[in-house]
Amino acid sequence: MNILLLGSGGREHALAWAIARSPLTGRLFIAPGNPGTAQVGANVALDIADHAAVVAFARENDIGLVVVGPEAPLVAGIVDDLLAAGIRAFGPRKIPAQIEGSKSFTKALCDEFGIPTAAYARFTEEAPALAYVRARGAPIVVKADGLAAGKGVVVAETVSEAEDAVRTVFSGAFGAAGAAVVIEDFLAGEEASFFAVSDGDTAVPLASAQDHKRAYDGDQGPNTGGMGAYSPAPVVTPEIAERVMREIVNPTVAGLKARGTPYCGVLYAGLMIGADGPKLIEYNARFGDPECQVLMPRLRSDLVALMLAAVEGRLSEAAVEWSDDAALTVVIAARGYPGAVEKGSRIRNIEAAEEVEGVTVFHAGTRAVDGRIEAAGGRVLAVTALAPTIAGAQARAYEAVAKIDWPEGFCRSDIGWRAIARVT
């Protein structure tokens, strides 16, 4: 079967790498892809925001399955448009994709179906939002309601910080995403991510992971899309995983089905694991980036078979097998990230890094120019290693990172520290 994967980041290189390994895969196209995806499939210069162009390409190339990597096309309804054209697609439709597209959609779902999450209120006007913050006190969390590329959240330690955050949301800094604000109680505990896949009726657990959102060592500096990740997350014990499925994922899938808007695709639950168990911080409607770069190398079973079972409503028969090994990925970013970065610096010795045992280098923000690899974005490479322990995977990943010759890049030197501190 021919497959079309949409997206161009490190997540999509990891997905393409896993899709290419499936015996079910015929031709693999990636739109627009990157030099990493070009190693395992054919990149196509399609504008994925142009749904009609994606549908036309899928028809012309006999695509049997479209896999949507990022959230923006899901929230824009690309799956609805593909399904309407009779093309199978892995990912939720527009309405259930609101679990990522709208914080208040998810909060209302939690209320309706008894899913544990932080208490909250939503406001479309500044004055009552400020009054709520003052009455509730700090710490408190202020969020722009819509998709703000991870930048619309302030965990305020003081009331005045929270007031500033409310004013920022209503100042228009987040465009349409800031038309409303969600203010919620601060949750204490350890964060982890949990991934499941649903066919609309049944959900199967995948695996846990933890990422590092801050730019610099010691979890300092600005928030980023993620500077590294590892899987599994030790805080997600088998008991916690079972509770996440029973208390969070299954009620979500059942609730969306009961509303007549079933959820098909990956459910990525951002969790706070506190003294009284797991609570939902947020949902994403897709794999994480860079979490996908640690999930795919651990996945032993066939990703394409799993996605087909989801789109065909056969997940209750699916068997998902994982390596017992841990995976850890180190993101190498361009200097200046998450601020402005320069493009065009040359990257050498990626092949040498991949010679380290258990290592795969996923491309995120690179471009190929006359056979050379250059930086072309903020997060540029994700260097992933597998090993029997997280500490072992960390050692291999950093051994590989050291072989990459790219003076204009930087990475954190402590990815995995929390997990390693926990077990030693």
Return residues touching ligand AMP (CB under 6 A): 118, 141, 143, 150, 153, 155, 184, 186-187, 191, 270, 281-282
Q: Which is nearer to ligand GLY, 6 or 308 (CB)?
A: 6
Contact residues: ligand GLY, CB under 6 A: 211, 225-226, 284, 288-289, 291
What is the rounded distance in angstroms from the CA atom of residue 180 to the CA atom of residue 172?
A: 10
Q: CB of 153: closest distance to ligand AMP in angstroms?
A: 4
Binding-site partner at residue 141 among ligand AMP, ligand GLY, none, CB < 5 to 8 Å by type: ligand AMP
Q: What is each CA distance from 380 to 115, 239, 365, 398, in whole angstroms?
A: 37, 36, 4, 16
Q: Which is nearer to ligand GLY, 282 or 302 (CB)?
A: 282
Q: Which is nearer to ligand GLY, 291 or 325 (CB)?
A: 291
Binding-site partner at residue 291 among ligand GLY, ligand AMP, none, CB < 5 to 8 Å by type: ligand GLY
Binding-site partner at residue 100 among ligand GLY, ligand AMP, none, CB < 5 to 8 Å by type: none
What is the rounded distance in angstroms from the CA atom of residue 329 to the CA atom of residue 326?
A: 10
Per-position b or e across 293-306, b if 16+ CB within 10 A of its CB: bbbbbbbeebbbbb
Q: Which is nearer to ligand AMP, 85 or 138 (CB)?
A: 138
Q: Which is nearer to ligand GLY, 269 or 359 (CB)?
A: 269
Binding-site partner at residue 219 among ligand GLY, ligand AMP, none, CB < 5 to 8 Å by type: none
Q: CB of 16: closest distance to ligand GLY in angstroms?
A: 17
What H or E segment, with its residue span, contains residue 122? Answer: strand 120-123
Which one-letter amino acid corresponds to residue 417? W
CA dihedral 146, 147, 149, 154 (to 10 degrees): 20
Binding-site partner at residue 95 among ligand AMP, ligand GLY, none, CB < 5 to 8 Å by type: none
DSSP string, 162-191: HHHHHHHHHTTTTGGGGSSEEEEE---SEE
Q: 3-class SS at 147?
A: coil
Binding-site partner at residue 118 among ligand GLY, ligand AMP, none, CB < 5 to 8 Å by type: ligand AMP
DSSP string, 225-261: S-SEEEES-TTS-HHHHHHIIIIIIHHHHHHHHHTT-
